[in-house]
Amino acid sequence: MEARQRADCCRGGVAWCVRRGFTADTRRTLSAPRQFLTQCALALLLGASMKCALAEDRQADNGGGDHPCCEVSVEQNGGPLLLVANWRDAEAEARGGGPKQGGTSVTLLLDTGADHSCFDLSRRPLLGKPVGGFADREFDNKIIEAYAPPRLDLGGFAIQPRGDVPCVDLRWLSRPLGRSLDGLLGMDALRSLAVSIDFDRGVLRLARAPGKPAGELVPLLWRGEPGAEGPYVLAALGGAAPLEFLIDTGGIHNVAGTLETRVFDRLCERGVLSPIRNPGRLRVPGSTTRSGTSGVSVARAGVVRIGDVAVPGPIFARHPRVNSLGLGYLSRFALTFDFPRGAMYLRRGKRFSHQDTCYDLAAFSVHRDGERTLVRTIREPTAGADIRVGDELVAINSRATRTMSVFSIRRALALEARQVLDFLRGGAARQVVLDFRDEIRTFQEANGAAATAAEQNQP
């Protein structure tokens, strides 16, 4: 499931995006060899400039100590990058209070696919009075109120979006996350920072400068409106010409990323992508948008290459507007984004050889009620399984749900082939076993030939 928001807004006649993907310049196909060689030359120049800049940083560190930074715990293995920040009370600080005197914490999704930060409608009282408005072109030019950017605190690390921030309804995104979400922390707040993510350890680091990065250097390309550019990279699928892909940490799904509809269809016609077939009862979910869930097509490539880094067998979903690489791809690496210098570093992680999946086995959905995990809806009847709305899910394959995030619970229900589920109903313990191994075997057999055909199209 892909958690997305594509809200095209304008202010004073200038397009202004909360989520990237509407303008023509966000989907570019670099088919000209000259253009590609130019990018390679830029990569070499960037590598040289980075060495000089890092040397200057080390000299500065000798006199001034470490760069200001903070480390926070995040979901491991490709889960959503959620940060809990403190809302800094500017009036209290002016009176001599500390940054935590406001006392209000907010949960934010770190989203490099968002041009600008935004906040949920529930946080309007904290933002004060509106300072303007934006016309949302996706929804009949409905006016979205905008507010002065708040000052946020992450363990003493100050961060603030640039420019006014809109208030929008984020319930569409809170539902798949299984928790209340107060806002998105977009590129307007991240553009001047270095962001390091270790998915194996579950640690995210924000800093004014990256220190000494490790891994494969990949130059970033900036696309979008001035002051609201998004980070893109060049990537090649199989033997096709390189494409520009948005680096999207807000893309929360099991597949590698998305391909714009015309690109997706063209690569399928050329045999670079092999469409995924679904002959059995397995569900291939659609993508989540503010308008609801819409069906998408998915296909597998033989390989995706970024520089010298090649990932075999990635799956991409057709998307109406944008090429992107989400957490399904990014979580294979320990990442460092040096946004000020326009660089990304990739170092292989434990999930590097992870195989993308595009089916959803979950027979029911869940939500949290305090510490309890309850069945919210029954998605489809399962033969011999007595599962009801309101049942408390206590454990999945002997793992206590109280120790798991809602995202981890939903991923286990969606992907694990055999599920031993422990429930409580009216205080009585019950156990249900769901076995999807036959369905998965049928699915894999139907797509084995397709995967092989895609692999033959890589150079």
* 3-state helix/strand/coil string of the chain: CCECCCCEEEECCEEEECCCCCCHHHCCECCCHHHHHHHHHHHHHHHHHHHHHHHHHHHHHHHHCCCCEEEEECCCCCCCCEEEEEECCHHHHHCCCCCCCCCEEEEEEECCCCCCCEEEHHHHHHHCCCCEEEEEHHHCCEEEEEECCCCEEECCEEECCCCCEEEECCHHHHHHHCCCCCEEECHHHHCCCEEEEECCCCEEEEECCCCCCCCEEEECEEECCCCCCEEEEEEEECCCCCEEEEECCCCCCCCCEEEEHHHHHHHHHCCCEEECCCCCCCECCCEEECCEEECCCEEEECEEEECCEEEECCEEEEECCCCEECHHHHCCEEEEEEHHHCEEEEEECCCCCCCCCCCECCCEEEEEECCEEEEEEECCCCCCCCCCCCCEEEEECCEEHHHCCHHHHHHHHHHCCEEEEEEEECCEEEEEEEECHHHHHHHHHHHHHHHHHHHCCCC
Mean pLDDT computed over 79-97: 73
Q: Is residue 378 a part of any domain in this protein?
A: yes
Residue 369: inside a domain, yes or no?
A: yes
Residue 332 inside a domain? The answer is no
Model confidence pTM above 0.75: yes
> Would residue 284 count as lying in a domain?
no
Query: Taking 70 as the threshold, does the pLDDT of residue 92 lie above it?
Result: no
Which structural domain range is residue 431 located in?
364-435
Please state the rounded mean pLDDT for residues 329-343. Answer: 94
Q: Would you state the pLDDT for residue 244?
A: 97
- CATH assignment of the domain containing 430: 2.30.42.10
How far lies 291's CA from each of 188, 223, 243, 389, 400, in Å?
25, 26, 28, 25, 34
Q: Are strands 343-348 and 287-289 parallel, antiparallel or unpaired?
A: unpaired
* pLDDT for 23: 31
Query: Does position 5 have pLDDT exceeding 60, yes or no?
Result: no
Residue 17: burial class (beta carbons within 10 Å; 0-12, 13-18, 19+): buried
pLDDT score, position 15: 29
Phi, psi for 146 (deg, rounded to 5)? -120, 150
For 327-347, what is the mean pLDDT? 94
The pLDDT value given to residue 19: 43
pLDDT at 36: 43
| Higher pLDDT pick, 443 / 188 | 188
Residue 25's pLDDT band (boundaries 50, 70, 90)?
Answer: very low
Q: Is residue 86 part of a domain?
A: no
Handedness of CA 390, 396, 402, 405 (dihedral sign): negative
pLDDT at 42: 45
Query: Radius of gyration over alpha carbons of the chain, in Å?
Result: 23
pLDDT of residue 431: 94
pLDDT digits (tens, 9 = 90+) for 372-426: 999 988 876 665 688 999 999 999 999 999 999 888 898 899 889 999 999 999 9
C-alpha 88: how far from chain center? 26
pLDDT over 60 at 48, yes or no:
no
Quote the number of domains for the chain: 1
| Predicted local confidence at residue 91, as pLDDT | 57
CA distance 301 to 305: 11
User: Residue 133 above 90 pLDDT?
Assistant: no
Average pLDDT of the segment spanning 81-106: 69
Query: Which range has the top average pLDDT, 97-111, 313-327, 439-453?
Result: 313-327
138 lies in a domain?
no
Which comes out higher in pLDDT, residue 50 or 356? 356
In a domain, 408, yes or no: yes
Q: Is residue 414 part of a domain?
A: yes
If one compares 19 and 417, the residue with the highest pLDDT of the two is 417
pLDDT at residue 340 tops 90: yes
